[in-house]
Amino acid sequence: MQKILTGFNIQAVNSGVSTGTTWLPAAGEPIVSSSPVDGKDIATVTSATRADYDAVVQKAAEAFGAWRQWPAPRRGEVVRQIGEALRTHKEALGRLVSYEMGKSLQEGYGEVQEMIDICDFAVGLSRQLHGLTMHSERPGHRMYEQWHPLGIAGIISAFNFPVAVWSWNSMLAWVCGDVCIWKPSEKTPLTALACQHIAATVFAANGVPEGVCCLVTGGREVGEWLAADTRIPLVSATGSTRMGKAVGAAVGARLGRALLELGGNNAIIISKDADLDMSLIGCVFGAVGTAGQRCTSTRRLIIHESVYETFKTKLVNAYKQLRIGDPLDEQHHVGPLIDRQAVDMYLQAIEKCKAEGGKFVVEGGVLEGKGYESGCYVKPAIAEVENGFSIVQHETFAPILYLIKYSHIEEAIALQNGVPQGLSSAIMTLNLREAEQFLSQAGSDCGIANVNIGTSGAEIGGAFGGEKETGGGRESGSDAWKAYMRRQTNTINYTDKLPLAQGIKFDL
């Protein structure tokens, strides 16, 4: 791991504040990055003070004036080169993600691949930032709309996807002509430093102005500075609903834009007409992938009563085969939770579930002994519950799967929708009518609704995000780029007369 860190030049700079190739002599509190894999401290990063933060914002504002003048395809070429650099560093960065965050090595590689994919998407987008043309009611007039860069985009990312979510935002923002200030999770600062080095190297080689790619490492206070700063028109925040409400309120109070991607309480409906063997794969990966620490993790299974016992038995048997341990060992399915605070929340959720009447068919617990010295490894658990239990209504960022029984499809959809969150959802069925009903206006109320695949593993081509307490934001594909730009409507009069709209007469 030391070799990986040295390859990213992390040991040479312990500052967590950068305006691109320049690392400021940060004067804030030290942040120690500890791996949940083995409990060892990896490195220390110095966080930003308010003065450090203000210096970064000033540099970003200066850079925006120049960067927005670059033609979008030229900006796209820079992003293309970032994608190539990520291909070169995929293995090393993927291992760093796995070790610092705790997700499996395959998922670490997959996260870097997601960054590469969004670079490819953004390159194509750089030649497609299109507006509309419209017919005017006035003779000799032409109407159209165009999109302009918005300014500084503040990006607040979470520990569970320490690099991919940053790339979803930054690559799109950059081709749109914005500059970015990234506040990574204080639990995973080293992956952020590695990405900053990769991007800054490419920017320097292309003569990109200093300040287009900024990093400000720190705790909650940095996020609060971003949210309240009138110099930052857009704040994109990924994390808990509690955090998102605070960010949304602060940004809204100054009439800025908030792009929120918050908690999920995702369910898969298992129909009586489902392919149960195929469904099993999606359900188990959705529930235990990243140790249940994805916003799209499967939290609830809503199973038809006629196949309930059969599918429950399949689940229990599958959980017996799970291998839990060092995520850098590709033989393991499940790695650790991010820290011992997360373990405490996992244990509290289990106790609360039992207190409300939940029956565990696969018991949870903390693993001890050789290989589990960090204290962050837990057993994926399964409980039979009622959807109305308060703990079921809550998102627990841990591998706890809740089983719920239903009798007809309308009931299943109501149960699926019957939580405060609305991120991802799925139905497993070979019944075309059920599938279409699930996707209809009266079906799933989530931002993502899948048929015969699980709740996690979204591709970058589609807009990612959800409704209700998930925040309503959209990142990544489709037309999510519009969040990073301002729309302008233009009317051109090419006559020697000045008629008014709506037939209004105003003669002098």
φ, ψ for residue 246 (rounded to 5)? -65, -45
- Token readout for 353 is 């579930």
Backbone CA torsion sign across 69, 73, 78, 82: positive
- Token readout for 409 is 């499809």
Q: Where would I find the beta strands (DSSP E) of 169-251?
A: 179-183, 213-216, 234-238
Q: What's the N-to-C CA distance of the chain in angstroms?
A: 79
CA distance 190 to 14: 10
- Token readout for 69 is 């003048």
SS (H, E, C) 257-279: EEEEECCCCEEEEECCCCCHHHH
φ, ψ for residue 39 (rounded to 5)? 80, 5
Scanning the structure block, which residue is given the tokens 């959209």? 474
CA distance 446 to 415: 13
3-state secondary structure of 278: helix
- Token readout for 49 is 């003070």
CA distance 339 to 349: 16
Q: What residues pair up with 366 in beta bridges, in sequence order?
A: 378
Scanning the structure block, which residue is given the tokens 């850079």? 63
CB 398 within 8 A of CB 293: yes
CB 17 within 8 A of CB 48: yes
Among 485, 499, 449, smallest CA distance to 234 is for 485
Question: Helices 105-125 and 164-176 meet at what angle, rounded to 10?
Answer: 10
CA distance 466 to 423: 4
- The count of residues in the chain is 508
Among 393, 31, 365, smallest CA distance to 188 is for 31
3-state secondary structure of 80: helix
Scanning the structure block, which residue is given the tokens 């099993």? 280
List, by residue number, the catalytic residues. Answer: 261
Q: What is the DSSP letter of 483?
A: G
Neighbours of 38 (CB within 10 A): 17
Q: What is the DSSP letter of 484?
A: G
CB 254 within 8 A of CB 230: yes
3-state secondary structure of 123: helix
